[in-house]
Amino acid sequence: MAGESSQRPPENDVDEEFVDDSASDDVLSIEANAVVPDLFTTPAPVRDALATATSQAQDETVRECVPLLAAMDSDIEYNAHGVPSLLRENHIRFLQKQLGRFPAPYVAADASRPWFLYWSLNALALLGFDTAVYREDLIKTVRTMQNPSGGIGGGHGQNSHLATTYAVVLALAIVGGEDAYEAIDRKSMWRWLCSLKQPSGGIQMTLGGEVDVRGAYCAAVIVTLLNLPLDLSTDSPAWTPERPTLFTGLADYVRRCQTFEGGISGKPDGEAHGAYAFCALGCLSILDTPHRIIPKYLDVPRLISWLSSRQYAPEGGFSGRTNKLVDGCYSHWVGGCWPLIDAVLKGASELEDQPIEGRFSPHQSSLYSREGLIRYILCCGQDRSKRGGLRDKPSRPSDAYHTCYVLSGLSSAQHQWDLTYVNEDETILPGPKWVVSPSTDGTQIFDEEDRVGTIHPVYTIPQESVDDMMAYFASRQGF
């Protein structure tokens, strides 16, 4: 034992690379409202002594967030938990403007028009606005974007792309109705998707374009919402005499995108990114139920570790990559991963015939701080000026993209999704169905009037929109 003691370092030895710098002039110190937990008002006590552009940007982000999180602005009304209200009407007006005419400089975003439609309509639906009033105009707009060869481009005469096609299909599902559904040429859509399928198992984003996990997710969403045939056309690059399908090899392609960190990259050997993690989990959850397929193709413990590392304190929001800043959009891209991870953990424990490999213990509380995310969104994510909308962080302007995904993250944090098995027909086996309820994890820190609507955890549009579109095309015979 004496030998072991001699190996101990002197008590006054300090690792100079990491120091307690909480009292430094470089770190913000502010007197916060007593109802706000210190976790969300106090900078991290242990900081790296080496200053870099990354650490300086992180410090600046903390400086701009903590005063808002501290609930000390006399011009803002806070509830009993130090949380401001959701400026619902301001955000609705902002989104309505996004569906109108843009000034000339927006010509640079012309190819993103389908995204503006989806972002704005989905956010309006989350805020409780009846989007059906936009149905007729949306149908007219979409018809000019659809190509005879299949798929939808960013505008008239532009090449079809999976991202813009995905956005338009979701927008049509949101407004709903037979006329909206029939605006899609399903037969040409199927042929176009077949032309994108690759022998590697992945799917191109556009003809001759990149193959990545976005393509896997977008294609899976489109195929299942429109009830397209899975069989490949014989002129598909991936067709062989073994008759593969649109989904053949897709899960294995997703598997190859998991990185050494545990997160998911856009393609094999890339950098892990929050949006790709959601695309990967969403794709797999379409191919099969999450508790069966996700542990089969992904290292779930490592993925959970990586996702957990994306939430920061004191901000409470998520970053999208290692050593990056929090950004409101990851309220969905990372926050939206948790319902699918929950389905893995809970579902595996319910099936007795599940093999030991890949089984996980159920858990009672959330794997992330719902309170932290809600505080970041309502305190830091809202543009409280007349402009309205939601944003990346306080120093950034609001836009349709962030408004959609910040509200989506707020919805996920406010609600609990459970995958249950519903036997709607006694002649067939029970099918999985997502069921939503208000989250009961911890104290509700937001006022009930600030609860937003819900979106399907896989398809990222209201669940009734998913159900209605699927039911419509399920009743169709052929194209």
- pLDDT tens track for 276-325: 999 999 999 999 999 999 999 999 999 999 999 999 999 999 999 999 99
Q: Is 330 tagged catalytic?
A: yes
Q: Is 468 tagged catalytic?
A: no
Q: What is the pLDDT of residue 6?
A: 42
Cα distance between residue 203 and residue 216, in whole Å? 6
Rg (CA), the chain: 24
Neighbouring C-alpha atoms within 13 Å toward the C-beta of 282 = 29
Cα distance between residue 256 and residue 276, in whole Å? 12
The band of 430, judged by pLDDT with boundaries at 50, 70 and 90, is: low
Q: Is 194 tagged catalytic?
A: no
Selected residue with higher pLDDT from 215 and 73? 215
Q: Is 402 tagged catalytic?
A: yes
Q: Assess whether the previous peptide bond of 244 is cis (omega < 30° from 0).
A: no
Best CA proximity match to 128, nearest among 390, 438, 407, 386: 407
Structure tokens at 359: 């089984």
Selected residue with higher pLDDT from 479 and 377? 377
Q: Which of 321, 332, 346, 415 is catalytic?
A: 321
Q: Is 253 tagged catalytic?
A: no
The dihedral built from the CA positions of residue 348, 349, 350 and 356, taken in this order, carries a sign that is: positive
Could you say which DSSP state residue 319 is in? B
Residue 269's region, left for phi above 0, alpha for psi from -120 to 50, else beta, is: left
Would you call 432 exposed, middle or buried from its count of C-beta atoms within 10 A (0-12, 13-18, 19+)?
A: middle
Residue type present at position 59: D
Structural domains for the chain? 88-352+361-475 (1.50.10.20)
Q: What is the pLDDT of residue 429?
A: 55
Cα distance between residue 265 and residue 320, in whole Å? 11
Structure tokens at 20: 């307690």
Q: Which of 91, 186, 214, 273 is catalytic?
A: 273
Question: Dihedral through CA 20, CA 22, CA 26, CA 28, nearest 10?
Answer: 160
Q: Which of 212, 327, 342, 450 is catalytic?
A: 327
Best CA proximity match to 345, nearest among 419, 448, 409: 419
CB 257 within 8 A of CB 268: yes
CB 88 within 8 A of CB 124: no
The band of 25, judged by pLDDT with boundaries at 50, 70 and 90, is: very low
Cα distance between residue 154 and residue 167, in whole Å? 10
The band of 476, judged by pLDDT with boundaries at 50, 70 and 90, is: confident
Q: Is 135 tagged catalytic?
A: no
